[in-house]
Chains A and B, each alone.
Chain A
Amino acid sequence: MLDLMLVALVVWPAAVGSLLLLAGGVADRIAGWVGVGSAGLLAVVAFLVAFPVGSRPSVSTPFMAGAELGLGVDGLAALVLPTVAAVSALVLLGAIGVPELRTARFHGLMLLFVAAALMTVLATSLATLLLSWEVMGATSFALIGYHWRDRESVSSGTTAFLTTRAADLGLYVAAGAALAGGAGLGLSSLPDASDGWRDVVAVGLVVAALGKAAQLPFSFWLSRAMAGPSPVSALLHSAAMVAMGGYLLLRVAPTLAATGWADTAAAWAGAATAVLLGLVALAQSDLKQLLAASTAAQLGFVVLAAGLGASAAGGTHLVAHAAVKAGLFLAAGIWLEALGTKRLAALTGAARIWPVVGACSAAALLSLAGLPPLALWASKDGVLAAAAEQSPALYLAGLLGAALSAAYAGKALVVLTRPLPANAQSAWDEERQGTREVPTSAWLPLLPLAAGAIVLGGLALPPLAVRVRELVGGAGPEPGAVELLASALIAATVLAVTAVLVVRGAAGRQTHWPRALTDWLFLESFSHRVVVRPVERLAQRCAHLDDAVLDRIVESTASGTARLTRGAVLVEDRVVDGSVDAVAAGIRRLGGLARRPQTGQLHQYYLQALAVLAGVLVVLVLVR
């Protein structure tokens, strides 16, 4: 029974999503409720599968290349599975209130995405993982580019897809290396691969995960992905798809640790992202861009945890962040729909207009800032404790990242919760005409998400933390009282300083952030200059060579052969046939010569007879 439910978690949303997509416009009216209903059901089933009465289910069937198509729930999956399913249901509920998203195409694609995300969480082999990984990327492309008449959206979707696809090449290489290393393609048996091959597997996994989680140097695609509708940002680009990058590293942490260097590399990549993207977030003037940079930075903590082997801490942070960020993106979407803008300065005081939305956002932002006793404070400290134990440098970097998250969360919080300025209305409707109202289905999901943002920290604190550690496995100490106090103080201080600075800034002096930060470290233009344009130039050169050289050689062989045949015809006419003609002419001349002696003169005939006789005599004498 549990096995069936496990399979249904993937097959049901995939089937319903495909049917919605095939039905097209006909199903638009029911699409929203079908989507929410399916997702809600999935959330319930996910809880039942993750925390079953008996043993956890696992299914597998032969697939290809000697690998299995397998789904299974282990400790880490038990933590993440209900999270993804619950957030999906809440986001789909929030999307009901947006009229342009009440289509079969939107909900079909979202359900397909949910199927792929759940399959990623449950995957037990590289083949299964790669399958769902790529489908997530494809649905992400289709959802970012949902408003296909807008070239900018579609171009953003393409950028996102191609960037993550480039990173995904690592998974293909890892699959080949795993096969060569003799360990097979099962995720749990990857550490048993032979040494050299295991290094290749680790590199492939790390690159693919960093790409999907929008870590450095791939972070720019997440910025572009904000062009999609807000529910898409809420689900894919905060709680589910990018989180899967972190999840993958948490799952294969044993493999990374076995190589000896991959875990350190991953940890530093995560720490660097947490710091640098924290700075980028601070410099953003658009709420969604700020949240996007913050997502990358927070996932940096998860990647850091994976590198340190602290799977429980990383998993807890993933879960808490999902609740926080999904809520914040849904709120950003609500304000965009209602007020027509997502520029932070234009949203000054927006939290006070609709109290429920405002309160939930405030709670989420306080949690993001790392204020105790909220969720992200506790989970972040779980990661920092592991860092403190293994590497002081990483701990300091983590603290810096935490301080920065307090700064940017504080910035957003203060701006949004300030009293409404007198001229607020003039700043609204920049992007579209706002509706000035918030339907119930839009703010309802914010409540459980805000509750999660407050409460989920309990998973990282002493009474529950032990149980979570037992569930998920992995190493790492619990955060001690000193560390907890230290991070609380830092968060509170930074928050206070930021509040003061923002208030002062709003009074007149604007901060001008360096272009490097507002432009996301110039990563996109760098990748264009270093990767995209050279490839385009190379492609043009190859196409030119193909036409001008390769094809020309072939064509010239043909025209050369034609010239050769004309030459052969000349030889045929002049030489071969000519020599036959020459022989004939020669014989004609000889015949002409043979007639010359017939002159009709008798004395000449006597002379000729004498000459012949003389010749015969000479020959007779000689032959004797």
Chain B
Amino acid sequence: MLSVLVFLPLVAAAALLVPWVDDRLARVAFVAVTSLEVALAGLAWARYETPADGTLALSQQARWIPGVGSSYHVGVDGLSLPLVVMTTLVFLACAIFALREQRRARLQAALFLFLESVSLGLFVSADLILFFVFFDLSIVAMYFSISGWGHGQAARSALKFFLYTFLGSLALLLGFVGLYVASDPHTFDMVELSTNPPLQGQGFAGGLVLAALLLGLAVKTPTFPFHTWLPPAHSDAPAIGSAVLAGVLLKMGTYGFVRIAMPMLPDAWRAWAPVVIVIGIVSVLWGALVAYAQTDLKRMIAYTSVNHMGYVVVAVGAAGVLADGADEARRVAVTGAVTQMVSHGLLTAALFLLAGSMFERTGSYALDEYGGLAGTAPRYATLFTVAAFGSLGLPALSGFIAEFQIFAGSIATVPVTAVAVLGILITAALFLRALQQMFTGPTAGLSVGFADVTPREWTPVALLLATSVLIGVLPRPLLDLIEPAAATLADLVGR
């Protein structure tokens, strides 16, 4: 079932490559396939049962490269299934948004279906080589999206994005090879490596392999100081490209922390947890401060992504610090980290789609060129306000559920992480300032003649925001899914 989920968009993409398919059919097919994917993901959730320790649910395995101990192995657990569902929702939102795409719609639909396949494949893969293949293919697909459909300095930003994250992925590969070489028998299988972590007790070697993995994942997440590829990539990417980049691709980095680094290198993770926590705190504060100084809307949202992913890094770092009676807190921190991944995906994708609507009308992201937009575009103002408040962690939206658990869990384990709460204050200030600048006051500048959002534009955003509100008000279904896996992970790190 997972294989169908992963490869259906790929088949559809291949079908769309046939030149006789016209653009209108391609756009509709894009929406249809992504809707089907959402249904399939929902079906997977319905059929999901918490797997036993050391196994994955709905798993499938087939021979692939037996010579290096690599197989086609897929499966989900409480950490990856929420991300799978979130990914399908984000891609559906993008498909609806792209219904009016005029530039080479057929090719763009094919590209994004390919990207959906690759993203879902990464989240369900249980083999390191498979993971790496999907990881790199996602970078390639996003490169084409930015350079082919972007604006501004698209070619340059796309190249920078590609080279930087690709270099990171090479470091990641180095780490994977290290894990392979150290394991006995040699294997790339994630389940086996988690059950028998290869470098237990070998401080130096474990540290080196962890460093390679952390470098690769830190570039993708992105954490400070490897984040400078993100703002230009977002600035110059098309709306749906930004939404997927922020909503899905960034999660591949943080997912790597919880799926690969923590369970497979518990000793090294515990030893280096303080470094991870420091990187996380710096990302939180740096991201928030630099976002505050931005005058370009997309760059501002890009830096808030650095801030939000910083919370995840703080939480997973804190989960690696063992202390008496801190088990409950560590589990809460990991649950918060995964919830934040889902929440950030939904909210930031919504924000970038809204920024895209703005660009389509005026061609400018500069905040000071707008004013009093609430008068000319009230629906747009409402959606943006809800998304902004969700992003700053207002309760009744998913961000609060995530951030509360992250703070409660991290502060209880490592008190110094309390510094990171300043991040939610700075984020509140920057979003309120942006809202104040763009929407209130007299209608001026580019706000004049700004048409309100059409159904094609507000439907996907409303879909994402409604999901976020649902999680914020009724978090139990999602948390019931994540908590067992988070507890297992916290125990694995403690070995």
Rounded to whole Å, the gap between the CB of A18 and the closest CB of chain B is 9
| B475 interfacial by beta-carbon distance below 8 Å | yes
- List CB contacts (< 8 Å) of B281-325 with chain A: 286, 289-290, 292-294, 325
| A517 interfacial by beta-carbon distance below 8 Å | no
| B412 interfacial by beta-carbon distance below 8 Å | yes
Give the CA-CA distance A158 to B407 in the complex, in Å: 24
Whether the Cβ atoms of B436 and A158 lie closer than 8 Å is yes
Whether the Cβ atoms of A539 and B332 lie closer than 8 Å is no
Nearest neighbor of B164 in chain A, beta-carbon distance: A554
| B404 interfacial by beta-carbon distance below 8 Å | yes
Nearest neighbor of A63 in chain B, beta-carbon distance: B475
Q: How large is the interface on A (under 10, 10 to 19, 20 to 34, 35 or more residues)?
A: 35 or more
Whether the Cβ atoms of B407 and A131 lie closer than 8 Å is no
Whether the Cβ atoms of A127 and B404 lie closer than 8 Å is yes
Which residues on the B side are within 8 Å of A130 (C-beta)?
395, 404
Whether the Cβ atoms of A172 and B404 lie closer than 8 Å is yes
| A3 interfacial by beta-carbon distance below 8 Å | no
Whether the Cβ atoms of B432 and A176 lie closer than 8 Å is no
| B57 interfacial by beta-carbon distance below 8 Å | no
Which residues on the A side are within 8 Å of B329 (C-beta)?
179-180
The secondary structure that dominates the A interface is helix
| B440 interfacial by beta-carbon distance below 8 Å | yes
| A509 interfacial by beta-carbon distance below 8 Å | no
| A161 interfacial by beta-carbon distance below 8 Å | yes
Give the CA-CA distance A184 to B293 in the complex, in Å: 39
In the complex, identify which listed stretch (B70-78, B266-274, B420-428) lies at the interface while the others stay far away: B420-428
Give the CA-CA distance A177 to B409 in the complex, in Å: 9
Which residues on the A side are within 8 Å of B426 (C-beta)?
535, 539
Nearest neighbor of B339 in chain A, beta-carbon distance: A64
- List CB contacts (< 8 Å) of A361-399 with chain B: none
Whether the Cβ atoms of B292 and A539 lie closer than 8 Å is yes
Given contacts A151-B440, A161-B428, A536-B292, contact A173 B421 (CB under 8 A): yes
Given contacts A161-B432, A172-B407, A173-B418, contact A148 B228 (CB under 8 A): no
Nearest neighbor of B402 in chain A, beta-carbon distance: A64
Whether the Cβ atoms of A542 and B378 lie closer than 8 Å is no
What count of chain B residues pass the 8 Å CB interface test? 59
Given contacts A131-B395, A162-B429, contact A546 B294 (CB under 8 A): no
Given contacts A65-B408, A180-B412, A542-B290, contact A551 B440 (CB under 8 A): no
From A61, A134, A179, A543, B408 is in contact (CB under 8 Å) with: A179
| A538 interfacial by beta-carbon distance below 8 Å | yes
| A135 interfacial by beta-carbon distance below 8 Å | yes
Whether the Cβ atoms of B441 and A151 lie closer than 8 Å is yes
A-B interface contact total, Cβ < 8 Å: 146
Whether the Cβ atoms of A24 and B433 lie closer than 8 Å is no
Whether the Cβ atoms of B442 and A149 lie closer than 8 Å is yes
Whether the Cβ atoms of B425 and A162 lie closer than 8 Å is yes
Rounded to whole Å, the gap between the CB of B405 and the closest CB of chain A is 5
- List CB contacts (< 8 Å) of B63-101 with chain A: none
Whether the Cβ atoms of B332 and A179 lie closer than 8 Å is yes
Give the CA-CA distance A260 to B113 in the complex, in Å: 63
Nearest neighbor of A561 in chain B, beta-carbon distance: B163
| B146 interfacial by beta-carbon distance below 8 Å | no
- List CB contacts (< 8 Å) of A226-284 with chain B: none
| A550 interfacial by beta-carbon distance below 8 Å | yes
Whether the Cβ atoms of B439 and A543 lie closer than 8 Å is no
Which residues on the B side are within 8 Å of A488 (C-beta)?
none
Whether the Cβ atoms of A543 and B290 lie closer than 8 Å is yes
Which residues on the A side are within 8 Å of B210 (C-beta)?
none
| A166 interfacial by beta-carbon distance below 8 Å | yes
Whether the Cβ atoms of A131 and B396 lie closer than 8 Å is yes
Most chain A CB atoms below 10 A, which of B374, B415, B432: B432
Which residues on the B side are within 8 Å of A456 (C-beta)?
none
Spell out A's residues near B (CB within 8 Å). Answer: 24, 61-66, 127, 130-132, 134-135, 138, 141, 145, 148-151, 154-155, 158, 161-162, 165-166, 169, 172-173, 175-177, 179-180, 182, 185, 200, 535-536, 538-540, 542-543, 546, 550-551, 554, 558
Q: List 20 A-B contacts (CB under 8 A).
A: A65-B335, A130-B395, A135-B396, A138-B394, A145-B440, A150-B441, A158-B433, A158-B436, A161-B428, A169-B424, A172-B404, A175-B404, A176-B415, A180-B329, A180-B415, A535-B426, A539-B290, A542-B293, A543-B294, A558-B160
**Known contacts A176-B415, A554-B229; can you find 12 more A-B pairs with CB under 8 A?**
A65-B409, A131-B395, A131-B400, A134-B395, A138-B394, A148-B439, A148-B440, A151-B436, A172-B403, A172-B404, A536-B293, A543-B294
